[in-house]
Amino acid sequence: MSTTSLARIFGILCLLSTVATPLLAQNTTTGASYGYVVGQGPINVFFGNTAGTDTERWYTIGLIQGKSYCFTTGRGNSEYNVDVDLTIDLIQIVGGTVVASFDGVSGDPAVGDNSRWDRGCVIAPATQSYYVRLHKCVCATGRTGNVQFDVTDTTIHSPWWFISNVSGYDAFIELANTTTTAIAATVTVRSAAGATVASQNVNIPSGGNTALSVTTLTGGLSSGSGSVQVAHNGPAGALVGNVTTLSAVTGLSFDSPFVSRAAAK
């Protein structure tokens, strides 16, 4: 085969490759939003100055009702202290309800409530897909740079509780707030089959703790076993906990510490 023929074939292949490769639209609208999976890790996002082109970004994410999540933006891995003054909006796709808007970082741990970082934590109100909109403040005109965006599941789980009136066993859920900010939490007790048997909202002051009896939470359940989930509005690590099952009759006790899915990866 001649050199000319080879050149023509190569040119045709290049043309086909170009035609077959679609252009990826920038995620500046709901219709062009990119997918994000909770726990996939931080992604780099560039923000510039062209309104409607690179001053906002949209993502689609799936959340589970009753579980808690933290949304964070911060410095990119190649820049220090980029100040593009972002706001994070969490919006339900069905109905368009704005669940929350986060602007700045408060609470513990934090670098101070300023425009260079954002963090907000919520308990998802429904199992569905949501939009996450990252948008730059008009006050940040002239400021450009890369930031990192991340979403983490902050829910904690204990794998075991046990109740038996015959043997005198009860289980106690113990939670401690490791931060300097009050934490609002939802405690969900599930059966061994995964069904919800009790749920209660609790507020734990900064540095404080609380203890709940599973027998009391379940309205006097005489026997059973299962697991416990705790969702909260603090960052990862804000709550630590344990479920202690014990019996004054047998003198035996055992512990089931809470862990997060992030810690288990």
- Do residues 132 and 28 touch, judged by C-beta distance below 8 A? no
Residue 198 contacts by C-beta under 8 Å, 6 or more apart in sequence?
Answer: 188, 189, 214, 217, 218, 219
Query: Hey, where are the domains in the chain?
Result: 30-153, 156-264
Phi-psi region of 143 (alpha: psi -120 to 50; beta: other; left: phi over 0): beta
In this prediction, residue 144 carries a pLDDT of: 83
Instruction: Tell me how far apart the alpha carbons of residues 56 and 86 are, in angstroms, rounded to a whole number.
Output: 9
What's the CA gap between 117 and 83, in Å, rounded?
8
- pLDDT at site 138: 77
Rounded distance between C-alpha atoms, residue 174 and residue 192, angstroms: 20
Model-level pTM?
0.85
Q: How far apart are CA 87 and CA 73, in angstroms?
A: 9
Superfamily in which the 156-264 domain is placed by CATH: TM1070-like (2.60.290.11)
C-alpha distance across the termini of the chain, in Å? 55
At the second CATH level, the architecture of 30-153 is Sandwich (2.60)
Residue 243 is predicted with a pLDDT of 98
pLDDT average per 10 residues of sequence, the chain (265 residues)? 51 47 71 92 85 82 96 76 85 94 80 75 96 87 85 96 93 96 96 96 96 93 94 95 94 94 59
